[in-house]
Chains A and B, each alone.
Chain A
Amino acid sequence: MTLRRGATNWLPALGVLVGFVGIWEGVVKGAHVQRFLLPAPDAIWRAFADNQASLWREGWFTFQEAVGGFAIGCCVAILVAIVVARWDLLGGALMPYAIAANAIPIIAFAPITNAWFNPLDKTSKMVIAGVLCFFPVFVNVVRGLRSVKPQQLELMRSYAVGDFTVFRLVRVPTALPFLFTALRVASVLAMIGAIVG
């Protein structure tokens, strides 16, 4: 039952892939499109197979950079978000700069980190990936920690419990869905950061 439903779920998508690649191949071959304009799928596949060893090696390298940057960026973002959500004044002071900093394109940023760290080393790319991950995670976690309903806080106040208990029992669970959404966005940004950087 589940298997059959699984098959009906991915079969249409597979059909689109096969059809698309087929049409692409047909158009390139049929209309004699030049190779440098649009190579045919079979040519791309052959090139990939020929250079397999070096592609895997470089890809693995970039992947490590992305994962490292993702981990660093997300951890720092969560910690800063917790502090900012706790102390409003600090949030007011930092938020405008965080938003402004997010508008800086990575292209402008890459030369600086390349100068700070060895450009052939992983660190410089990790920093770029981390910076890219920071913003969406930071903003979402702050919003999540603050989106607690006032009545939930009133209930906790009626129990006369401390700030840390409120944080643990109410704020963290409320913020989790926000965090996961942000992590999904950040994982893509980390790859972009590692590749472009």
Chain B
Amino acid sequence: MSVVDVKSVSKEFKGGTVALQDIDLSIEQGEFVSLIGPSGCGKSTLLRIIGDLIEPSQGDVSVNGKTATRARRDHDYGIVFQDAVLYNWRTVSKNVALPLELAGWDRDRRASRVDEMLDLVELRGFGDHHPWQLSGGMQQRVSIARALSFEPSLLLMDEPFGALDEMTRERLNAELLRIWQETRSTVVFVTHSIAEAVFLSTRIVVMSARPGRISKVIPVDLPQPRTGETREEPRFFELATEVREALHLGGVTV
């Protein structure tokens, strides 16, 4: 059974903008799927439809075999945005614990899970800090810890590293891969960085704009675990070129 099943989904916004047209996409357990495309291709819209944050105009979405709404209510996915969306008046620990608090976990269970999560994102010792005391990269790690705290089977990420500098981004890419392997979750990852998509994904979905469509699906056969050296392999460049060409066919000139 696939984790995410998108069947002939279209989305038309008020005013007639067609954000998505006839999207079919099936994502299996344990996959790391990147959605890449020019701005306006509807990749973030597709992510939000999977998360039941927006409703599709047509078509069906199922997550873990349930409707998207049911899956959202069951806390089947965690979400990370480009902005970390942390609460400045809460400490790092309390930010990570927020979804657990809302789900009614008791204090001890929350505390031990928060510790595990801070270890996972390598922020041990920062629990009592406030978000504004952390760098952008660290804030985004807190946000990832929060999304994974209740062990959702699916992780939705909307350009999570888009606002970070290149070096921080590469470091967090490597960490995300490690976290993905440790937690064995399924990831849907929106990005507009070709290198990021190739490095992280097991499959890249290339989209084109106006209307938003899937123009090509590229499986990434780079071996795991991937390291900094992976970025220097010839196969990495071949795949990056393939993605770039697919983006061009989608009507973009870079």
A binds B: yes
Contact with B along A143-172 (1 / 0, CB 8 A): 000000101101101111100010001100
Given contacts A155-B79, A158-B72, contact A149 B102 (CB under 8 A): no
Is B236 part of the contact surface with A, judged by Cβ < 8 Å? Answer: no
Q: Which residues of A contact B89 (CB under 8 A)?
A: 173
Given contacts A152-B85, A173-B87, contact A160 B79 (CB under 8 A): no
Q: Which residues of B contact A151 (CB under 8 A)?
A: 81, 83, 85
Q: How far is the CA of A71 from the CA of B83 in the complex (A)?
A: 38
Q: How far is the CA of A175 from the CA of B193 in the complex (A)?
A: 36
Contact among A149, A157, A160 with B85 in the assembled complex (CB-CB below 8 Å): A149
Q: Which residues of B contact A173 (CB under 8 A)?
A: 87, 89
Query: Are A160 and B87 touching (Cβ within 8 A)?
Result: no
Minimum CB distance partner of B99 in chain A: A159
Q: Which residues of B contact A165 (CB under 8 A)?
A: 102
- Mark out the residues of chain B between 3 and 59 whose CB falls within 8 Å of any chain A CB in the assembled complex: 48, 51, 53
Given contacts A154-B53, A173-B87, A173-B89, contact A159 B81 (CB under 8 A): no
Main secondary structure of the interface of A (DSSP, over half): helix
Query: Are A160 and B73 touching (Cβ within 8 A)?
Result: yes
Query: Are B75 and A155 touching (Cβ within 8 A)?
Result: no
Query: Are A161 and B79 touching (Cβ within 8 A)?
Result: no
Q: Which residues of B contact A152 (CB under 8 A)?
A: 85
Q: How far is the CA of A155 from the CA of B53 in the complex (A)?
A: 9
- Mark out the residues of chain B between 62 and 76 whose CB falls within 8 Å of any chain A CB in the assembled complex: 72-73, 75
Query: Are A154 and B79 touching (Cβ within 8 A)?
Result: yes
Q: How far is the CA of A140 from the CA of B194 in the complex (A)?
A: 44
Q: How far is the CA of A184 from the CA of B85 in the complex (A)?
A: 29
Query: Are B87 and A149 touching (Cβ within 8 A)?
Result: no
Minimum CB distance partner of B72 in chain A: A160
Interface size class of A (residues with CB under 8 A): 10 to 19
Q: How far is the CA of A158 from the CA of B52 in the complex (A)?
A: 8
Q: How far is the CA of A151 from the CA of B47 in the complex (A)?
A: 14
Query: Are A158 and B102 touching (Cβ within 8 A)?
Result: no
Is B199 part of the contact surface with A, judged by Cβ < 8 Å? Answer: no
Q: How far is the CA of A152 from the CA of B48 in the complex (A)?
A: 14
Q: How far is the CA of A160 from the CA of B51 in the complex (A)?
A: 11
* Shortest distance between the CB of B238 and any CB in chain A (Å): 36
B51, B53, B99 pick with most chain A CB within 10 angstroms:
B53
Q: Which residues of B contact A149 (CB under 8 A)?
A: 83, 85
Given contacts A151-B81, A154-B53, A165-B102, contact A159 B87 (CB under 8 A): no
Q: Which residues of A contact B85 (CB under 8 A)?
A: 149, 151-152, 155
Q: How far is the CA of A154 from the CA of B51 in the complex (A)?
A: 10
Q: How far is the CA of A104 from the CA of B72 in the complex (A)?
A: 50
Q: How far is the CA of A151 from the CA of B75 in the complex (A)?
A: 17
Q: Which residues of B contact A170 (CB under 8 A)?
A: 87
* Shortest distance between the CB of A94 and any CB in chain B (Å): 26
Q: Which residues of B contact A155 (CB under 8 A)?
A: 79, 81, 85
Q: How far is the CA of A51 from the CA of B125 in the complex (A)?
A: 64
Minimum CB distance partner of B84 in chain A: A151
Contact among B79, B83, B87 with A158 in the assembled complex (CB-CB below 8 Å): B79
Q: Which residues of A contact B83 (CB under 8 A)?
A: 149, 151
Q: Which residues of A contact B87 (CB under 8 A)?
A: 169-170, 173
- Mark out the residues of chain A between 111 and 149 whose CB falls within 8 Å of any chain B CB in the assembled complex: 149
21 A-B pairs (CB sep. < 8 Å): A149-B83, A151-B81, A151-B83, A154-B48, A154-B81, A155-B81, A155-B85, A157-B53, A158-B51, A158-B53, A158-B72, A158-B77, A158-B79, A159-B75, A159-B102, A159-B103, A160-B75, A161-B102, A165-B102, A169-B98, A170-B87
Give me 15 other A-B pairs in contact (C-beta within 8 A), A158-B72, A159-B103, A170-B87 excluded.
Answer: A151-B85, A152-B85, A154-B53, A154-B79, A155-B85, A157-B53, A157-B72, A158-B51, A158-B77, A158-B79, A159-B75, A161-B102, A165-B102, A169-B87, A169-B98
